[in-house]
Amino acid sequence: MPAGVMIPARNMPSMITGNGSVSGYGTSSGLTLGQQPNNVMEGQLHPLEMTQNASESEIARMRDEEFDSTNKSGSENHELGGSGDDQDPRPNKKKRYHRHTQHQIQEMEAFFKECPHPDDKQRKELGRELGLEPLQVKFWFQNKRTQMKTQHERHENTQLRTENEKLRADNMRYREALSTASCPNCGGPTAVGQMSFDEHHLRLENSRLREEIDRISAIAAKYVGKPVVNFPLLSSPAPPRPFDFGSQPVTEEMYGVGDLLRSISAPSEADKPMIIELAVAAMEELVRMAQVGEPLWMTSLDGTTCMLNEEEYIRTFPSGIGPKPTGFKCEASKETTVVIMNHINLVEILMDVNQWSTLFSGIVSKASTLDVLSTGVAGNYNGALQVMTAEFQVLSPLVPTRESYYVRYCKQHAEGTWAVVDVSLDTIRPSPTVRCRRRPSGCLIQEMPNGYSKVTWVEHVEVDDGGVHNLYKQLVSSGHAFGARRWVSTLDRQCERLASLMASNIPTGDVGVITNQDGRKSMLKLAERMVISFCGGVSASTAHTWTTLSGTGADDVRVMTRKSVDDPGRPPGIVLSAATSFWLPVSPKRVFDFLRDEHSRSEWDILSNGGAVQEMAHIANGRDPGNCVSLLRVNSANSSQSNMLILQESCTDPTASFVIYAPVDIVAMNVVLNGGDPDYVALLPSGFAILPDGMTVTDVGMADSGGSSGSLLTVAFQILVDSVPTAKLSLGSVATVNNLIACTVERIKASLSCDNA
């Protein structure tokens, strides 16, 4: 197939099947190692081979039979008769059936979508093209219409049954409420019929809102020094989530827990009034810091960043969580952007720990909610209070993660204006292991026309960064690793991705674009899980135990192992992760463009074995052409080698870029492209995290090739070294992975050095 040929959605499965032998759906996909460590040690790396369980003809036959079993009325017909009134007058004679081919069925299915009631001329033309009699075509369309009608009626029955159950439950609830209703004037019991259903419902809602107002008033009273009542623990459910980010949030990627997070539990009743007071004070501080400029914030010499005047900050906010601990450094930054998301949806995402950690999976390695002190008022998050823990990361094993224990408070300040603030609770529960304190940090969200929102982000932390490797010192100290610009750039890119997920007006003229809405959603959901899995296993998290292998100084390779058992999203067995980080004297944009381009993949990808790589399909998910999800095909130079598919997501913003990919099973991808459930596709993602070196502040991460900025590149592989989870890791497997990652690094350096020269 020539590179770039457009693949229509309905023909995608047959074209993907191609020349290769494939394994069954649900089989393990990922990088695997052969059992020849000696050869690999000598540099003889073998490409991936897909298990040959079934020939192409057998797969076609099984699909045909599967289709027949569910659509007998459309795939089996009497040979020139056998429908409705035309019954065979000889009942003792055995009827003959004609089984349509897969091609005939696909063509008639496609024609049915455009014209379910063809006339005689159309039936004759279609029959001539497919080698069928017009009567056979007529019977197939009759049966298909009957089948569609039956399915539609069944779906309507299900909906009506669900609505009926809901109405019955509402009826029972209202009856129960009426039985306990009281007169608003005298307080006595109310007889049935004295109060309408709607009136009683409004009274109940009014009573609930009055209780919530009293609760918020208690918070304010505590803040100004008036008596305060005990703040009760609420356990009512949170408002519905606006988006489905997939079934596997970041918190499920945890492979262990750090010392700080392990020692923290939900706050006691005695702590809650102090937490409320701290949250209200933090909210006031955040809003003021977001709205004021000089002298609190000073603009850098190049005019691109805001720096905090620490002396002015201490004068403006003398109270708070106390003085800066000895040996800690202050990191404070402010950034404003406009994102393509409704302000209410954005607030709901920030207040849902799973959605928040998924949206910022490149920054948040794990997070959890320990306690909910308030769910908010009037059915939204106004006044919501949550006690949380989180671990923040840079995608490199050379930068320690930052653990934090804090309260998150959400408040509506005016119509269309909201704020969400975090502040550490270390003063309430001191811990000797604390290495990071969050002073009031968060964002001010303002409603904009056409579904946009203006976001002003303030990030203010005090941290002990003594464990950061020298290679990343400048990036971290400049604030570009964890600062406000990193947060808003990630938010802007992810909002564009969500907008593309919900888009329905996909242009059909571009080559290779997937226009099938269900197929787009399934493929983006699978790619999202791949990115989360990659980000959750690359950093120096407290959940990981890295072992350093001897390397060439700064390019040391770090490895760790974990077992994969009973996880449909990963192949079972022993998984070996390997990662290394190093500096390149070229801009991050140059590195990103080189690694994401399928035409240059053979220059660094050893496992492609020099074969040509072509993009079969892609989904654009942002303004930058580098933000897309692609399905690549590796055509091996060895004719006996079966072809391989690679799912790849590339994403870039002014602060970071990623190229993440995983080998995928051909049959499983056919299911995904047709809108099937992607949760059972096994993935072992590998890839690259590309960060600026922090030496320049001018448009960080997007300098052109002539700029002086360099790049910090992290290369990470995940490889299935044994399909038996109880097996022991061999030294040969470790040596093989070490050799693989070292060769990949050398190829990248050689290619980019030639380009730079």
pLDDT in tens, 692-715: 987 754 443 344 433 447 899 999
> Does 690 score more than 90 pLDDT?
yes
pLDDT in tens, 465-475: 888 888 888 88
Beta bridge partners of 364: 392
pLDDT in tens, 592-618: 999 999 888 888 888 777 678 888 888
Higher pLDDT, 11 or 457: 457
Side chain identity at residue 62, one-letter code: M
> Does 58 score more than 50 pLDDT?
no
Q: In angstroms, rounded to a whole number, what is the distance separating the alpha carbons of residues 523 and 30?
A: 17
Tell me if domain 271-502 and domain 517-696+708-755 are identical in fold: yes
CB 74 within 8 A of CB 80: no
66 confidence band (pLDDT: 50, 70, 90): very low
217 confidence band (pLDDT: 50, 70, 90): low
What CATH architecture does domain 104-159 belong to? Orthogonal Bundle (1.10)
CB 617 within 8 A of CB 512: yes
CB 50 within 8 A of CB 644: yes
pLDDT in tens, 344-386: 999 999 999 999 999 999 999 889 999 898 888 767 888 899 9
> Does 205 score more than 80 pLDDT?
no
Higher pLDDT, 326 or 505: 326
Range scoring the smallest mean pLDDT among 1-10, 151-160, 197-206, 209-218: 1-10
Range scoring the smallest mean pLDDT among 24-33, 233-242, 363-372: 233-242
530 confidence band (pLDDT: 50, 70, 90): very high
Strand bridging mode 31-32 / 711-722: parallel
> Does 272 score more than 90 pLDDT?
no
pLDDT score for 444: 95
**Hey, what CATH topology would domain 271-502 get?**
Alpha-D-Glucose-1,6-Bisphosphate; Chain A, domain 4 (3.30.530)
CB 596 within 8 A of CB 627: no
Q: Would you kindly state where each structural domain of the chain is located, as residue ranges?
A: 104-159, 271-502, 517-696+708-755
pLDDT, mean of residues 675-684: 85
pLDDT score for 195: 52
- Residue 9 Cα to chain centre, angstroms: 24
Peptide bond into 184 cis (omega under 30): no
Q: Tokens 């692609």 correspond to what residue?
A: 630
Q: In angstroms, rounded to a whole number, what is the distance separating the alpha carbons of residues 395 and 559?
A: 15
421 confidence band (pLDDT: 50, 70, 90): very high
733 confidence band (pLDDT: 50, 70, 90): confident
13 confidence band (pLDDT: 50, 70, 90): very low
Higher pLDDT, 204 or 386: 386
CB 597 within 8 A of CB 748: no
> Does 406 score more than 70 pLDDT?
yes
To the nearest whole number, what is the mean pLDDT of the chain?
A: 75
> Does 36 score more than 60 pLDDT?
no
pLDDT, mean of residues 525-552: 78
> Does 171 score more than 50 pLDDT?
yes
Positive or negative torsion for Cα 347, 353, 356, 358? negative
> Does 285 score more than 70 pLDDT?
yes
Range scoring the smallest mean pLDDT among 115-119, 263-267, 317-321, 408-412: 263-267
Q: Of the CATH numbers 3.40.50.1860, 3.30.530.20, 2.40.50.100, 3.20.20.450, which one belongs to the domain with range 517-696+708-755? A: 3.30.530.20
Beta bridge partners of 458: 334, 442
pLDDT in tens, 632-675: 888 766 655 555 789 999 999 989 999 999 998 888 888 888 88
pLDDT score for 241: 39
> Does 229 score more than 50 pLDDT?
no
pLDDT score for 250: 34
CB 622 within 8 A of CB 497: yes
